[in-house]
């Protein structure tokens, strides 16, 4: 699962000297099209100051309550190792001189800020909160930063601070840094910072949800050099794809082995239970007890004299149990004396698959599964690129705010053709290391890229093939998109473009 959240507010504050006469500490840039980050050393004159320093700092907030709600609804686990959060700000280069070789630093804010409506980035004549002195208005009165420029730092839990540098999030652990940095060699790079610890701590209610401050790191704000100007697109930028983003990545894929289970390798089988159209826990007995938690059922695998029982638990998504989904993981040996001859003679065995209670007195589902031998050959003669991918259910248009399930059919065009005289349902090939990305049709920009590190774009598998979910609010409205796929196998990657019909977000 990958979800992209847009900024809910952003601005920057500055103490820039205007006409060598005063500092624009009351200026507001809440509706400016860019977020301008600069530091000037001794570039202006101001009575009473020697070697004056002028600087700006960025303020930005994202709707983290969306992630808190997803965790509460057991859609993600903010404590899972696969949960990641990254802030991305897009560089704006308009021919201006850009600084190089510097570090930027990010802090969670300890105070809230008002965005404001200012947009004058030349004379800084628009006056409003938020600015260099005040963070917001409350009950008609200005609320000041504890130190001008939101510059009062401290540890989590400290009173009267503007930004949080470090803190203890888990009992028994020591303090950890809450201030990631990024080095800019050329100065034209996008900002891309890992804020996983901050976001998970905020969603857990441990860190205030007031947004972030981004600035030149301390030594750069104080040294005798100028850095003018590093510009990023703001949330008011004309091009929606360039606006600030918070990437939420989480591996929520499931790998069900009903269609491709092989002997001797541990695999997982899943059972999904629906009440009407909604996933719901199985209810059992006259008291309608819900089956939940660990070892709440049994799975019986049998063929002839062979019979094995395996524990079944409610499926886990991180630390959360998934409503209405159950799984069992096990391996069946082809060297078992009851299976050896048939497994090696025919290459496969079809077993009865019975999901039952612990006493085997109540059957919840009875089916069958075919388990095959490993695929062996003298050499890899398969054509890596001869794969046909079809997306089965893409609509022409989607509205923002939808969560869409996309089914994917894959066919290896080099596999043997079977001729039959009766109706035959062609089954999708299963690729366990297959990722998706979403690309803008017209300018080629990639909105959601393949994620082979955190596997947030990994396709899930079930007995019907492969599928994935995505959130339409991750994509700007008014654009047309297409889905590409990446298949990794035998140490090689194959990218399949334009496998899906084009779709538009309206």
Question: How large is the angle between the packed helices 65-72 and 196-203, nearest 10 degrees?
Answer: 70
CB-based contacts of 211, cutoff 8 Å, min separation 6: 9, 59, 60, 61, 62, 108, 109, 112, 113
From first to last of the 506 residues of the chain, give the pLDDT tens digit: 999 999 999 999 999 999 999 999 999 999 999 999 999 999 999 999 999 999 999 999 999 999 999 999 999 999 999 999 999 999 998 777 889 999 999 999 999 999 999 999 999 999 999 999 999 998 889 999 999 999 999 999 999 999 999 999 988 889 999 999 999 999 999 999 999 999 999 999 999 999 999 999 999 999 999 999 999 999 999 999 999 999 999 999 999 999 999 999 999 999 999 999 999 999 999 899 999 999 999 999 999 999 999 999 999 999 999 999 999 999 999 999 999 999 999 999 999 999 999 899 999 999 999 999 988 765 555 555 678 899 999 999 999 999 999 999 998 766 665 655 665 567 899 999 999 999 999 999 999 999 999 999 999 999 889 999 999 999 999 999 999 999 998 889 999 997 878 999 99
Burial of 481 (0-12, 13-18, 19+ CB in 10 A): buried
With helix as H, strand as E and coil as C, how does 27-96 read? ECCCCCCEEEEEEEECCCCCCCCCCCEEEEEEEEECCCHHHHHHHHCCCCCCCCCCCEEEEEECECCCCC
Largest CA distance in the chain: 97
pLDDT value, residue 150: 98
Distance CA 33, CA 239 (A): 10
The whole-model pTM stands at 0.93
Look at residue 429 and give its three-state secondary structure. coil
- The pLDDT, as a whole number, for residue 416 is 60
CATH topology of domain 387-505: Immunoglobulin-like (2.60.40)
Is residue 280 classed exposed, middle or buried when 0-12, 13-18 and 19+ CB atoms within 10 A define those classes? middle
Distance of CA 254 to the CA centre of its chain: 16
What pairing do the DSSP bridges indicate for beta strands 503-505 and 397-398?
parallel
Number of other residues whose CB lies within 10 A of the CB of residue 241: 16
Residue with tokens 């039959």: 420
Tokens 């420029």 correspond to what residue?
149
Q: In Å, how far are 55, 369, 441 from 258, measured between CA atoms?
A: 61, 6, 36
**Would you list the domain boundaries of the chain?**
2-249, 267-372, 387-505
pLDDT at residue number 380: 56
Looking at residue 417, its pLDDT comes to 56
pLDDT at 425: 63
């Amino acid at each position: 699962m990958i979800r992209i959240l847009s900024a809910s507010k952003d601005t920057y504050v500055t103490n820039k000297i205007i006409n060598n006469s005063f500092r624009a500490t009351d200026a507001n840039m809440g509706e400016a099209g860019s977020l301008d980050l600069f530091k000037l050393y001794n570039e202006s004159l101001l009575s009473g100051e020697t070697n004056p320093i002028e600087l700006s700092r960025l303020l930005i907030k994202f709707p983290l309550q969306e992630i808190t709600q997803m965790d509460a609804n057991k859609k993600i686990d903010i404590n899972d190792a696969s949960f990641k959060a990254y802030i991305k700000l897009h560089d704006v280069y308009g021919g201006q001189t850009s600084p190089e070789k510097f570090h930027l630093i990010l802090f969670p804010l300890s105070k809230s800020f008002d965005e404001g409506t200012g947009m004058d980035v030349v004379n800084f004549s628009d006056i409003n909160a938020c600015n260099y002195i005040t963070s917001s208005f409350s009950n008609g009165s200005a609320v000041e930063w504890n130190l001008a420029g939101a510059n009062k730092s401290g540890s989590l839990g400290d009173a009267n601070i503007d930004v949080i540098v470090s803190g203890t999030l888990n009992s028994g652990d020591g303090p950890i840094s809450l201030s990631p940095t990024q080095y800019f060699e050329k100065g034209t790079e996008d900002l891309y910072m890992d804020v996983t610890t901050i976001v998970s701590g905020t969603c857990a209610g441990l860190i205030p949800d007031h947004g972030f401050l981004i600035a030149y790191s301390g030594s750069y704000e104080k040294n005798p050099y100028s850095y003018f100007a590093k510009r990023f697109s703001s949330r008011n930028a004309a091009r929606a794809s360039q606006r600030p983003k918070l990437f939420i990545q989480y591996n929520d894929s499931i790998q069900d082995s009903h269609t491709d289970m092989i002997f001797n390798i541990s695999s997982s089988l899943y059972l999904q239970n629906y009440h009407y159209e909604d996933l719901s826990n199985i209810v059992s007995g006259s008291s309608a007890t819900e089956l939940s938690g660990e070892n709440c059922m049994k799975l019986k695998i049998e063929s002839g004299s062979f019979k094995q029982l395996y524990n079944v638990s409610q499926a886990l998504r991180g630390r959360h149990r998934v409503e209405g989904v159950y799984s069992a993981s096990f391996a069946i040996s082809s060297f078992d004396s009851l299976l050896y001859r048939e497994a090696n003679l025919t290459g496969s065995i079809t077993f009865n698959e019975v999901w039952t209670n612990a006493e085997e007195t109540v059957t919840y589902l009875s089916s069958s599964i075919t388990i095959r031998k490993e695929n062996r050959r003298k050499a890899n003669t398969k054509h890596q690129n001869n794969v046909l991918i079809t997306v089965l259910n893409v609509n022409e248009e989607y509205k923002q705010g939808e969560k869409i399930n996309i089914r994917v059919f894959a066919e290896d065009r080099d596999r043997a053709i079977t001729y039959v005289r009766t109706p035959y349902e062609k089954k999708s090939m299963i690729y366990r290391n297959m990722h998706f990305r979403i690309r803008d049709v017209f300018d080629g920009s990639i909105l959601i890229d393949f994620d082979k590190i955190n596997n947030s774009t990994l396709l899930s598998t079930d007995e019907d093939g492969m599928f994935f979910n995505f959130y339409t609010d991750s994509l700007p409205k008014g654009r047309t998109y297409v889905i590409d796929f990446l298949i990794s196998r035998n140490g090689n990657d194959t990218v399949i473009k334009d496998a899906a019909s084009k779709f538009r977000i309206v």
